[in-house]
């Protein structure tokens, strides 16, 4: 049972698959450790008053006012708009909530909104809240630094369920960025995200991306370092969406302990940044 000092956490997109998984993870942690409590659930405009399990959905503004931190696994536009709302001035004596974002596929306008909001609040944004994936990022960076482009080509492979709307996935792009960082190059100018027809030979140094969508695949990611005579594969398989929810809850607890606003990621939460 949650204690009186439990961190109040609101859940965005509460009617969605990840929203329900996050709510379940919070309830489980509340029962086991008592350091968190679900303060509000909300979804798109017009769902106020609907039920999610035994709880009644509120508006986003009500959730913001009731929560110390919000967890959002929705869509980029919705997440960016929520960040802006969280960052708006509050009544004297109230605290702006921190925001945990697991949405992916942000465009330039969305990125600008997040950056502006992060001058006022703590935002933890990650394409993947898994501990294993965040460890994998470091391994990919190290391998890319050691295995040069003249001998080793890099390919990022990812697979997700049929309902995922962005490609490559946020995690795949994180892995690509880690590989690019290891080699000291810019991913945007050294990536190949689509091959069709007579493409010619592979360009040395490019980081390739391959995407699969189908069924109920939770998340599969691999990074191949392919030479003429060997292939090194670093991979991660997600078996249960609960692992992302549990990571987001840890990020929420970390966020409320921060004293400076800013845009952080899971590497910050886990203390993995050099």
Quick: pLDDT tens for 76-119: 999 999 999 999 987 666 789 999 999 988 999 999 999 999 99
Query: Is 160 marked active-site?
Result: yes
**Residue partners of 19: CB distance under 8 A and separation at least 6:** 11, 12, 13, 41, 43, 52, 73, 74
77, 161, 164, 236: which is the annotated catalytic residue? 164
150, 160, 236, 260: which is the annotated catalytic residue? 160
Q: Which domains does the chain have, with CATH numbers?
A: 7-125+241-269 (3.40.50.720), 131-238 (3.30.360.10)
CA dist 254 and 119 (Å) reads 18
| Average pLDDT score over residue span 162-179 | 94
Beta bridge partners of residue 9, listed in sequence order: 38, 69
**Residue partners of 42: CB distance under 8 A and separation at least 6:** 10, 11, 12, 14, 48, 57, 58, 59, 60, 62, 63
Cβ atoms of residues 134 and 128 within 8 Å: yes
pLDDT per residue as tens digits for the range 28-73: 999 999 999 999 999 999 999 999 999 999 999 999 999 999 999 9
Model pLDDT, residue 35: 96
CA dist 35 and 95 (Å) reads 19
Query: Is 164 marked active-site?
Result: yes
Average pLDDT, the chain: 94
Cβ atoms of residues 171 and 132 within 8 Å: no
Confidence of residue 274 (pLDDT cuts 50, 70, 90): low
């Amino acid at each position: 049972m949650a204690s009186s000092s439990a961190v109040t956490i609101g859940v965005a997109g509460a009617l969605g698959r990840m929203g329900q998984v996050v709510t379940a993870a919070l309830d489980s942690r509340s029962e086991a450790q008592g350091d968190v409590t679900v303060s509000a659930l909300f979804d798109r405009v017009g769902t106020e008053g609907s039920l999610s399990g035994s709880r009644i959905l509120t508006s986003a503004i009500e959730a913001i006012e009731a929560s110390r931190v919000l967890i959002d696994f929705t869509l980029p536009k919705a997440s960016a708009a929520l960040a802006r709302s969280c960052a708006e001035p509050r009544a004297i004596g109230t605290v702006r909530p921190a925001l945990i974002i697991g949405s992916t596929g942000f465009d330039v306008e969305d990125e600008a909104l997040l950056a502006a909001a992060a001058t006022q609040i703590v935002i933890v944004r990650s394409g993947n809240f898994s501990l294993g994936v965040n460890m994998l990022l470091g391994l990919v960076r190290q391998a890319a630094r050691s295995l040069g482009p003249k001998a080793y080509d890099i390919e990022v492979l990812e697979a997700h369920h049929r309902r995922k709307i962005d490609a490559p996935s946020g995690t795949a792009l994180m892995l690509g960025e880690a590989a690019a960082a290891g080699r000291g190059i810019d991913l945007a100018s050294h990536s190949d995200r689509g091959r069709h027809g007579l493409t010619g030979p592979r360009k040395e140094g490019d980081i390739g991306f391959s995407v699969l969508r189908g069924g109920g695949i939770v998340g599969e990611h691999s990074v191949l370092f392919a030479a003429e005579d060997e292939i090194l594969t670093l991979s991660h398989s997600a078996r249960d969406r609960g692992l992302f929810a549990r990571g987001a809850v840890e990020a929420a607890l970390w966020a409320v302990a921060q004293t400076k606003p800013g845009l952080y990621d899971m590497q910050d939460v886990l203390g993995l940044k050099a």
